[in-house]
A and B are shown apart, each in its own frame.
Chain A
Amino acid sequence: MTVEEQYELNIGPQHPSTHGVFRIKVAMNGETIEDLDMIVGYLHRSMEKLSEERTFTQNIPFTDRADYLAAMSNNLGYCLAIEKLANVIPPQRATVLRVIFAELQRIASHAMANGTLVSDAGAWQTPLLYMFREREKILDLFEMTCGARLTTNYMRIGGVAFEPPDEFYPLLNELLGELPDKVDEYMDLLSTNEIFIARTKEVGIISPEDAINASLSGPALRGSGVPWDLRKAEPYCDYENYSFDVPVGNTGDSYDRFMVRMFEVKESIKIIKQALNELPSGMHKTQIPLALRPEPGQVYYRTEGPRGELGYFVISDGGPAPYRMHIRAPSLINLSLLKQLAVGSSLPDAVVTLGSIDIVVGEIDR
């Protein structure tokens, strides 16, 4: 005689594979997930409300802390939004420097995402630490440029804060020389590993229709085979001048999302190489008033962050601070499909699916 009974399992807020203080309340029957409830807000810091009290420039450090694994990309999105609102045109050199740093940040963020995904699949942190090796070098480059590694606060309205030092360029070139080999090494080690494929292939399949309906973006969308990349679709920072391609997956499973990130790293390397070749001389920022007062109006500016469409919606009432600021966080919206993906599967599959979606809780809770 067997009695089947649902029981409740709290995954998080402290759990190795929730990537931060994120909580999933799971109703399980044996090893099968029957219901799932996502609870966010443990890392809420009220960024959007706080930013209404600070000037436009003072808000830049908040964006570092939203997606703390992609601070440069968040800085860039915010600065582009305010520049559009206030009609500030950054100098050409600043735009190219922004591209370089945003793409470096994308590589660092993808390394982190893929490393933690393989760790979630059970490889005892070895791939994570291997990917940290490359991420460390990128963070070193950030550190020598702006003094910070994680929360960089590097972009400014109308340019970038600092000119990279002289020793930056040889180190960057060295890194760009060895990165493709390192990416190939990871592909050799992981993408053909039988156990890794067995754990991620056909796990957490998102169909293209579902992905579009749920408004997914970034690798989570492209893994499903939808070639949507804002760098191509709505080019900003002169991305239309760079030649690169957009990798898309075949079936939309966790493995495809992993591979799309790997291929995107290679494309980012191409972009950085082109940007370095045509780095113009000149100023790295324009002079803007200390307390910038844009004309009353509103703007929604979206960029392609490492995790997807990163949008900043800012309303100005003519004052020195935004009247309202809202961040369209890609992690939160990508996460919305987790329930559909995880219900009916087992706990290990749900963990791998969550890892492949690549959430950053700082961005979800803001």
Chain B
Amino acid sequence: MSFFNQVFKGPQLAYYFKKISIAVFIFIVIVAGYFFSQLFFDLSKFSQFIFDFVLQRSNYNFAYFTSSIIGALGIISFVGLVLLVGSWVERRVIAKFQIRVGPNRVGPFGLLQPIADAIKLMQKEVLVPAIADKTLFLIPPVAIFLPAILAWGPIPWAPNMSYLNINVGILYVFAVSSLTVPIIFFAGWSSMNHYALLGSMRTVAMMVSYEIPISLSLLSVAIITGTLNFSEIVLWQSTNSIWLGLFMPFSLFTFFFASTAEINRTPNDIAEAESEIVAGYHIEYSGMKAGLFMAVELGNAVLLGALVTSLFLNGWFLFGIEKFVPPYIIFIGKTVAIYLLLIWLRATFPRFRLDQLMNFAWKTLIPVSIINFFVIAIEVTILNQFQSTGILIYIFALFNIFLFLGLIVVWSKIFSVDKFQPEKIQPKFAGEIGGLEAMKGVKSVD
């Protein structure tokens, strides 16, 4: 062994062996992934197969029912997988931001940590406060799952892969996600805890305010594409070869920022601000009930990624790569990118105050959204005069980007942030201001 070590310089050999094995592993994953992806390129074939299989043996209604149940199970199991993997990803990535290691004990790279967490949470006793409204207290943790799963329905994963391919997709998601408000309010109200009450009141106030900019930004998406169907919005972006996020950056920003307020993510997580109201509306929940709230929050963050992807980032298209990689993989990749952006925000930013958020919504987001909406409406009218949008749409996109930057500058001038110029608020030194002699003018007042 010592000879072996001398010739190959043991530690270095182990080092290269590790590198080479990782490279081989990645190569195998790519090759296997390619064959696998060719096999499962279009998952709609499978649902079609099941539908036909059942149809041959029974009537149409039963076949429709069976295939829709299987589709729903697919969505639910995907959401469940997202919750498990997402909590691991979030903890590991935030740990990287915070120069920590993160969970790495349970299973390889700590991958089984979410399962261990879930088992631990399930073992814990669910305490119900003595003075709480018991019925109302126990409903919200379960009920809050409804909008979180229902909203996944119309998400277009790939061509022909949309569970609810309805022509009012945006309206549906918007309506379903509004269900969260009363549920969170019930949770906070029934807990009989002032922290919980503060948290739920903040949530309601914030959601009511931020649904207006969200609807304005979605409205601009609707008028330019002329549809509320998610798949058709994605296809519109591909036929006009422009991402809506590039065409109207302000709508993207509004939707993204306002949605972080809706789903309680930093910098807008005031509904459960840890340093102020401890956990907000779910402070009294323990065990798996608290776990369900946290899981839904995580699921909503991924859902936001999926919505942004399909509305603004051209869905399953990615510069022709969708011909080689299954489109739903591209879709999930973009979703994960947005989710990582949310994690980045969470690991980086301090939190706004409630009044600052409200000011931002009513004094900045809503007026600028209205301006943005009018500009886009005018552009749509002009674009509709021509057969094909052609080069004009790129000119408009460029115009919109500059308008976006200009509006930011104008608004920051109006609501002046001049007093926050960093060079004006730096501390002075006692030597510069004349030491304690300079303070003799300060009179003690009683």
Contact = CB atoms under 8 A, between A and B. Distances in A.
Interface of A: 7-9, 15-17, 28, 31, 118-126, 129-130, 133, 191-199, 201, 208-209, 212-213, 225-229, 232-233, 245-251, 255-256, 259-260, 263, 346-349, 351
A212 B275 contact: no
Given A9-B195, A198-B356, A201-B420, A247 B275 contact: no
Contacts of B94: 124, 126
Nearest to A233: B436
Contact of B350 (A130, A196, A226, A249): A196
Contact of A259 (B97, B275, B425): B425
B281 to A, nearest CB: 15
11 contacts: A9-B195, A15-B278, A16-B274, A121-B351, A122-B274, A124-B347, A129-B99, A199-B352, A226-B439, A232-B435, A260-B427
B349 A348 contact: no
A123 B352 CA distance: 10
Interface in B393-431: 417, 419-420, 422, 425-431
A302 to B, nearest CB: 16
A255 B356 CA distance: 17
B21 interface: no
Q: Which 6 A-B pairs have the closest CB atoms?
A: A122-B351, A227-B430, A246-B430, A121-B350, A17-B275, A123-B350
B131 interface: no
Contact of A122 (B194, B269, B426): B269
B39 interface: no
B353 A349 contact: yes
A31 B427 contact: no
B254 to A, nearest CB: 18
B427 A120 contact: no
B444 A213 contact: yes
Contacts of A133: 99
Given A9-B194, A16-B275, A228-B436, A248 B266 contact: no
Interface residues of B, number: 50
Most chain A CB atoms below 10 A, which of B266, B356, B435, B443: B435
Contacts of A227: 430, 433, 435-436, 438-439
A349 B353 CA distance: 8
B194 A348 contact: no
Contacts of A129: 98-100
Contact of B420 (A28, A124, A197, A249): A197
Contacts of B422: 191-192
A7 B198 CA distance: 11
Contacts of A346: 353-355
A248 B427 contact: yes
B99 to A, nearest CB: 6
Interface string B68-84: 00000000000000000
B90 to A, nearest CB: 11
B63 to A, nearest CB: 49
A126 B430 contact: no
Interface in B269-308: 269-270, 273-278
A196 B422 CA distance: 12
A212 B444 contact: yes
Given A126-B97, A208-B442, A245-B429, 4 more contacts: A195-B351, A212-B444, A227-B433, A227-B436
Contacts of A246: 429-431
B98 to A, nearest CB: 4
Interface in B11-67: none
A199 B351 contact: yes
Contacts of A250: 425, 427-428
A124 B346 contact: yes
Nearest to A247: B427
B420 A195 contact: no
Contacts of A15: 278
Contacts of B273: 122, 348
A229 B349 CA distance: 33
Most chain A CB atoms below 10 A, which of B347, B350, B443, B444: B350
A9 B442 CA distance: 37
A199 B417 CA distance: 13
Contacts of B425: 197, 201, 250-251, 255-256, 259
B267 A122 contact: yes
Contacts of A247: 427-430
A246 B278 CA distance: 37
Contacts of A121: 275, 350-351
B5 interface: no
Nearest to B436: A227
Contacts of B435: 227, 232
Interface in B65-121: 94, 97-100
A329 B438 CA distance: 27
A195 B352 contact: yes
B75 to A, nearest CB: 30
Contacts of A251: 425
B134 to A, nearest CB: 22
